[in-house]
């Protein structure tokens, strides 16, 4: 979730509250689902984390100031630029070549505001946060800003071959040009910054190009914005040109453009930026984009765009009363607070038509407006009610059964462990003397194949364990400082690969125990297992049997399958010295593992 | 509660058998342990601690005297057996003519010591060098060496040493010259001086009274045996006192402290009328995300956020569920596309009906709630403790997998205010923190949403959890018309405080630094 930092002075000026303190901000940031990061903030500079991924308009100082301002004034600010009726200040002509690469572009011109440091910093912050968090690292949204006074209209949006010399341009010089290295790690000579680069060269050698190349997602052509004089504005979503694309304080005419892969996302981003600049005093003039291909909003789309079809919902006051639990809530009160939240509300008796401003299109359902009302008025206005209806609490049958087994293991003198499920192939296979072929499975206890992670991040956590004995050996490996003998167990989950299942796996409950001391032997743990099974009504012989069966993790002839009424419950055996050696253990060990689901099935006669 | 031992008169334990023996042997006149111990049938060192114990009880008196004793060293013992170097040189020379070298070739003696002795003899005129030959000369000077050799032989049989004042002045002078220097190297000297405190013990009047009450000595045993019980011989023995100072290390069986913490939470939720939900750790994206109305293009659904499951048959490829059970797919897909039962505008994109079946490792416990909606009782309260997995670096704030505790409340009558009441109840019952505050929050599947912060007794204000009312886009596809509250509690930090650990990985035994025994519930 985005974090933003801004000067408190800028916030105070935009909010029109010269005395606004950090404490005030702490309280008011709930309006934008923000959390003031106290430790990183001072009265001079505030850091706020914004939560609402559907409200990119709140991820900037202008958005926070707007919420504060509107709440004080009790009504929405007016944004004439979203009427959609002004004559365009210019046109962007889209070339068919961008359709496959990055089809959409929207822009507007901002006049009458002299760029100052605070405004420029805030714009850059919004640009970064929007293109990173809303535009998925510039993949779906990227933003450019230019000196509009020197642009020759119309601007063309085209996709050129990466190595096209005819569209080579001088890219923005990075912040520390002296330290810059090209793609081969060589320093970039100072003279290079004044030269023209092809888009391919930018991607290969320019520090900014290399940082953001992934945003193009492997396209073989470079989107370019070029003005009528053939001057390159930028190479979206990578970098601006050093000529038109360098904005400094003192400029008074700006062109802002947004490119991307989803038209409405592009338009919404342009709207947010237009509102921000309007808040600073700029007059927003629309720019029209003309497409040679069809778009969801037709061949000609103007920005800022009203997005009118995505902004209104109908709200019955009764619905707000029911959802919030306030039988006496009046429709008028709801309307009043929504207006103070920047929403346009038309009330007809009990029915409200609520319309968001064009910089937010997050209303999907009436519940969204109900929450806005609750936030606008403040959650502290809602007094909590205790649950009124009677329900019966219950554990899942499997949990109850596992808890019984745990209790019995404790009574038998075994200490409980709790393990992570994610582990390595090494731990559950190699170290256990096992392979991953189907024939390496031991009944239903563990498979050969494992539930593996496809996008592995760390080899140590690449698979889900399908048996618990390896976890206990890892516990033992770490426990050599604890008093012996070691008697340890875990009742826990595993996930076993099972191609026959809908979810390609079975999540099961297991009970495993490990006994380690100088004279640890089969019969001692057999006695424990026998007590455990006997406590569930299974006596040796009639109730369950131990069948000698080879298992590579255990000493040959000293591994047995636990079988009850035809069901394979698990394994009991003396751990193979080869396995102990691989774990770095120097004391004999005996282990068993029981499939609790299967045991429960046997016990309950299922 | 029973009365504690504090405050009463100190208990006087019975005499140990050794103490009784010493008390019996003690006389009216002060005497050293060397005299007393043999009569008690003990070694002097055994008798020492018993005698001191009796002194502490006022049954024996003790007087102390500082003494200086001359005792023999190991080197002295060797000289007592083989002779002092000076006399050995003489004996060698008496056997026949010898060179200087031959005269000093004395096995078992340090060359430097022989050299020093030879030099001293030569200086005293007791050996004479004539050309290459050496011979012994008679003289009074030999007497002191003979006296010293005799002294050594006596000392070899007198471990307690003797009082140096009892020696002849000439011998004493010679001996003192051979004591180890205070500083410098020690080693070959035959004598050393020991300063000791001689302790002498005598019985006190109280001791005499106590002695009168002592029974006859009885055999002492360490262990009561079945045989002793059968034949009654236990009546004729005394039992050795035990040593309570060193409790033996005994392995204990106990619940895992983190599991115990989770059990407590579970019990609390049961008491509040919640029914447990369980499920698979492998889930399709559908239940993990789509059914929770998280759009498929949402940034939190990228490859770096959830773990996908690999197809064992086709390494590198993802694996998909064959179907979405219960006919839930289409109603949910329609909600995403804005055509669903809830009347929502939807997310304005074409829902991918294949991708939704892609299998992932459960990334949030809400999956259980989403599935529960298919057969939810109204009214009904549900909770789950779900093991969850996130694509994150494993470090001190991220365990490889972790528990989420969450659930739902379904009701015709419930409201957001009831949700706040429920959260207050959780704060009180689960976290023992009565003071809470509610702040707006964002979760894709709830509206309105809220985060509850509470004042923890130790930690101050902290987040207890998040909650909200399920969006209609989440409930309506399953035919649920009522209001469903969804809640989740973040208890890991509380557990870490309760267990006194700073690294979340250490909650799990197989990732904790000392394995067993490293966690203790405070």
Instruction: State ipTM.
Output: 0.92
Q: What is the pLDDT of residue B7?
A: 39
Q: Does the CB of B184 have a partner CB in chain A at under 8 Å?
A: no
Q: How confident is the model at residue B459 (pLDDT cuts 50, 70, 90)?
A: confident
A81-174+191-306 folds as Phenylalanyl-tRNA Synthetase; Chain B, domain 3 (3.50.40)
Place of tokens 């959409």: A104
Q: What is the pLDDT of residue B215?
A: 63
Of B208-222, B273-287, B495-509, the least confident = B208-222
Q: In this structure, which CATH number among 3.30.930.10, 3.30.920.30, 3.40.50.1970, 1.10.110.30 belongs to the domain A397-603?
A: 3.30.930.10
Contact B307 A454 (CB under 8 A): yes
Could you name the CATH architecture of A309-381?
A: 2-Layer Sandwich (3.30)
Per the CB < 8 A criterion, the answer to whether A561 and A568 are in contact is yes
Q: Report residue A297 as tokens.
A: 């909003």
pLDDT at B446 over 50: yes
Q: What is the pLDDT of residue B493?
A: 78
Q: Does the CB of A365 have a partner CB in chain B at under 8 Å?
A: yes
Ranges under pLDDT 70 in chain A: 606
Angle between helices A331-340 and A317-324 (to 10 degrees): 90
User: Which residues, numbered 49 to 78 in chain A, qualify as contacts with chain B under a Cβ-Cβ cut-off of 8 Å?
Assistant: 51-54
Q: Report residue A386 as tokens.
A: 């205790």
Contact residues for A170 (Cβ-Cβ < 8 A; gap 6+): A193, A194, A195, A196, A197, A241, A242, A243
Q: How confident is the model at residue B277 (pLDDT cuts 50, 70, 90)?
A: very high
Place of tokens 């901002």: A110
My answer on whether omega of the bond before A304 falls inside 30° of 0, hence cis, is yes
Contact B401 A416 (CB under 8 A): no
Beta-bridged to residue A306, according to DSSP, are none
Q: How confident is the model at residue B69 (pLDDT cuts 50, 70, 90)?
A: confident
How does strand B380-388 pair with strand B275-276?
parallel
CA distance A114 to chain B (A): 35
- Tell me the C-alpha distance between A447 and A237, whole Å: 48
Helix, strand, coil percent content, chain B, rounded in steps of 5: 40, 20, 40
pLDDT at B413 over 60: yes
Q: What is the pLDDT of residue A301?
A: 96
pLDDT at B10 over 50: no
Contact A421 B483 (CB under 8 A): no
Torsions phi, psi for B83 (to 5 deg): 100, 155
Contact B281 A363 (CB under 8 A): no
Superfamily the domain B258-511 falls into: Bira Bifunctional Protein; Domain 2 (3.30.930.10)
Q: How confident is the model at residue B6 (pLDDT cuts 50, 70, 90)?
A: very low
Contact A365 B472 (CB under 8 A): yes
DSSP letter for A132, please.
I
Return the residue of A nearest to B255 by Cα.
A416
Average pLDDT over residues B57-64: 89
DSSP letter for A579, please.
H
Residue of B79 and A510 predicted with greater confidence: A510
pLDDT at B217 over 80: no
Return the residue of A nearest to B286 by Cα.
A503
CB atoms under 10 Å from CB of A251, counted, come to 19
CATH of domain B72-194: 1.10.10.10
Mean per-residue pLDDT of chain B: 86
Q: What is the pLDDT of residue A465?
A: 97
Closest CA to B242 of B16, B10, B5: B16
Return the residue of A nearest to B437 by Cα.
A380
Of A509-518, A526-535, B99-108, B203-212, the least confident = B99-108
Contact B309 A505 (CB under 8 A): yes
Mean per-residue pLDDT of chain A: 95
pLDDT digits (tens, 9 = 90+) for B232-262: 888 888 887 777 777 777 777 889 989 999 9
Return the residue of A nearest to B394 by Cα.
A458
User: Which residues, numbered 25 to 84 in chain B, qualify as contacts with chain A under a Cβ-Cβ cut-off of 8 Å?
Assistant: none
- Tell me the C-alpha distance between A461 and A475, whole Å: 16
CATH of domain A1-70: 3.30.56.10
Return the residue of A nearest to B423 by Cα.
A384
pLDDT digits (tens, 9 = 90+) for B129-142: 888 788 888 888 88
pLDDT at B519 over 60: no
pLDDT digits (tens, 9 = 90+) for A63-104: 999 999 999 999 999 999 999 888 999 999 999 999 999 999
Q: Does the CB of B191 have a partner CB in chain A at under 8 Å?
A: no
Structural domain spans, chain A: 1-70, 81-174+191-306, 309-381, 397-603
Q: Does the CB of A422 have a partner CB in chain B at under 8 Å?
A: yes
Whether the domain at A1-70 and the domain at A397-603 fall into the same CATH topology: no
User: Which residues, numbered 434 to 453 in chain B, qualify as contacts with chain A under a Cβ-Cβ cut-off of 8 Å?
Assistant: 437-442, 444, 447-450
Q: Does the CB of A517 have a partner CB in chain B at under 8 Å?
A: no
Q: What is the pLDDT of residue A420?
A: 94
CA distance B241 to chain A (A): 27
Q: What is the pLDDT of residue B518?
A: 59
Which positions in chain B touch A140 (Cβ < 8 Å)?
297
């Amino acid at each position: 979730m985005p974090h933003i930092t801004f000067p408190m002075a800028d916030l105070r000026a935009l909010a029109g509250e010269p005395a606004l303190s950090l404490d005030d901000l702490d309280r008011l940031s709930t309006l934008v689902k923000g959390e003031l990061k106290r430790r990183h903030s001072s009265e001079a500079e505030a850091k706020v984390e914004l939560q609402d991924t559907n409200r990119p308009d709140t991820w900037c100082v202008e958005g926070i100031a707007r919420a504060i301002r509107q709440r004080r004034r009790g009504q929405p600010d007016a944004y004439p630029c979203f009427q959609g009726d002004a004559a365009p200040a210019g046109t962007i002509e889209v070339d068919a070549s961008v359709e496959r690469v990055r089809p959409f572009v929207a822009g507007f011109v901002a006049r009458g505001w002299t760029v100052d440091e605070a405004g420029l910093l805030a714009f850059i912050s919004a640009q970064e946060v929007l293109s990173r968090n809303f535009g998925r690292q510039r993949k779906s949204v990227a933003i450019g800003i230019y000196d509009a006074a020197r642009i020759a209209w119309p601007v063309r949006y085209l996709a050129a071959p990466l190595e096209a010399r005819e569209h080579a341009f001088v890219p923005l010089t990075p912040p520390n040009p002296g330290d810059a290295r090209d793609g081969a790690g060589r320093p970039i000579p100072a003279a290079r910054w004044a030269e023209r680069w092809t888009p391919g060269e930018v991607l290969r050698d320019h520090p900014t190009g290399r940082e953001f190349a992934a945003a193009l997602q492997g396209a073989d052509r470079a989107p370019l914005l070029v003005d009528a004089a053939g001057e390159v504005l930028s190479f979206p979503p990578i970098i601006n040109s050093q000529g038109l694309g360098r904005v400094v304080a003192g400029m008074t005419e700006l062109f802002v453009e947004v490119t991307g892969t989803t038209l409405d996302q592009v338009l919404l981003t342009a709207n947010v930026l237009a509102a921000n600049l309007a808040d600073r005093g700029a007059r927003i003039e629309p720019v029209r984009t003309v497409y040679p291909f069809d778009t969801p909003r037709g061949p000609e789309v103007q920005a800022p765009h009203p997005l009118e079809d995505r902004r209104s919902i109908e709200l019955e006051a009764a619905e707000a009363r029911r959802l919030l639990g306030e039988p006496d809530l009046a429709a008028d009160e709801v309307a009043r607070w929504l207006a103070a939240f920047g929403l346009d509300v038309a009330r007809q008796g009990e029915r409200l038509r609520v319309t968001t401003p064009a910089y937010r299109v997050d209303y999907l359902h009436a519940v969204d407006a109900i929450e806005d009302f609750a936030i606008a008025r403040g959650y502290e206005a809602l007094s909590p009610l205790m649950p009124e209806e009677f329900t019966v609490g219950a554990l899942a049958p499997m949990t109850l059964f596992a808890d019984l087994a745990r209790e019995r293991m404790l009574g038998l003198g075994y200490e409980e462990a709790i393990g992570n499920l994610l582990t390595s192939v090494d731990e559950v296979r190699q170290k256990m003397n096992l392979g991953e072929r189907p024939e390496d499975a031991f009944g239903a206890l563990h498979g050969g194949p494992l539930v593996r992670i496809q996008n592995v991040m760390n080899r140590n956590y690449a698979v889900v364990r399908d048996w618990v004995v390896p976890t206990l050996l890892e516990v033992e490996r770490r426990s050599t400082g604890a008093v012996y003998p070691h008697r340890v167990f875990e009742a826990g989950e595993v996930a076993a690969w099972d191609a026959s299942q809908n979810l390609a796996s079975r999540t099961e409950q297991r009970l495993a125990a490990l006994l380690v001391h100088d004279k640890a032997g089969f019969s001692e743990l057999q006695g424990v297992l026998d007590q455990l099974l006997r406590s569930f009504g299974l006596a040796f012989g009639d109730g369950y049997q131990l069948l000698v069966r080879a298992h590579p993790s255990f000493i040959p002839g000293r591994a047995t399958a636990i079988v009850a009424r035809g069901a394979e419950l698990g394994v009991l055996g003396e751990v193979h010295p080869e396995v102990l050696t691989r774990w770095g253990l120097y004391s004999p060990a005996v282990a068993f593992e029981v499939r609790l689901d299967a045991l429960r099935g046997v016990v309950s006669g299922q | 509660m029973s009365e504690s031992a504090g405050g009463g008169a100190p208990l006087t334990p019975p005499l140990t058998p050794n103490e009784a023996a010493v008390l019996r042997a003690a006389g009216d006149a002060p005497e050293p342990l060397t005299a007393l111990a043999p009569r008690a049938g003990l070694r002097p060192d055994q008798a020492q601690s018993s005698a001191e114990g009796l002194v502490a009880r006022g049954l024996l008196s003790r007087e102390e005297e500082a003494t200086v004793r001359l005792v023999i060293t190991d080197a002295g013992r060797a000289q007592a057996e083989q002779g002092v170097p000076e006399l050995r040189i003489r004996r060698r020379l008496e056997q026949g003519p010898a060179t200087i070298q031959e005269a000093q070739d004395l096995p078992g003696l340090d060359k430097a010591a022989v050299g020093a002795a030879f030099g001293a003899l030569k200086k005293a005129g007791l050996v004479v060098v004539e050309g290459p030959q050496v011979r012994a000369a008679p003289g009074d000077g030999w007497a002191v060496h003979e006296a010293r050799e005799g002294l050594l032989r006596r000392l070899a049989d007198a471990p307690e040493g003797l009082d140096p004042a009892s020696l002849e002045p000439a011998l004493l002078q010679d001996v003192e010259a051979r004591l180890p220097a205070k500083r410098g190297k020690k080693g070959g000297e035959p004598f050393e001086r020991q300063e000791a405190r001689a302790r002498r013990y005598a019985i006190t009047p109280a001791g005499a009274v106590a002695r009168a009450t002592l029974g006859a000595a009885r055999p002492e045993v360490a262990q009561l045996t079945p045989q002793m019980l059968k034949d009654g011989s236990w009546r004729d023995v005394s039992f050795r006192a035990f040593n309570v100072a060193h409790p033996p290390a005994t392995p204990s069986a106990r619940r895992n402290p983190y599991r115990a913490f989770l059990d407590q939470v579970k019990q609390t939720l049961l008491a509040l009328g919640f029914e447990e939900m369980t499920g698979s750790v492998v889930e399709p994206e559908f239940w993990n995300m789509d059914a929770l109305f998280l759009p498929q293009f949402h940034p939190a659904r990228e490859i770096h956020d959830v773990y996908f499951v690999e197809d064992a048959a086709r390494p590198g490829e993802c694996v998909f569920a064959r179907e979405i059970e219960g006919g839930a797919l289409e109603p949910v897909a329609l909600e995403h596309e804005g055509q669903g039962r809830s009347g929502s505008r939807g997310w304005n994109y074409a829902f991918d009906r294949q991708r939704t079946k892609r299998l992932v490792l459960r990334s949030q416990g809400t999956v259980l709630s989403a599935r529960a909606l298919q057969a939810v009782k109204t009214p009904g309260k549900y909770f789950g403790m779900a093991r969850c997995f996130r694509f994150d670096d494993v470090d001190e704030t991220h365990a490889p997998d972790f528990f989420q505790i969450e659930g739902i409340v379904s009701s015709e009558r419930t409201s957001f205010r009831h949700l706040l009441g429920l959260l207050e109840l959780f704060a009180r019952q689960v976290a023992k923190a009565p003071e809470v505050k509610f702040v707006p929050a964002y979760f894709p599947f709830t509206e309105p949403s809220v985060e509850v912060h509470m004042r923890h007794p130790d930690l101050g204000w902290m987040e207890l959890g998040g909650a909200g009312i399920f969006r209609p886009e989440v409930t309506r596809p399953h035919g649920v018309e009522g209001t469903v509250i969804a809640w989740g509690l973040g208890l890991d930090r509380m557990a870490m405080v309760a267990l006194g650990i700073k690294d979340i990985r250490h909650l799990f035994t197989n990732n904790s630094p000392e394995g067993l025994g490293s966690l203790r519930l405070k």
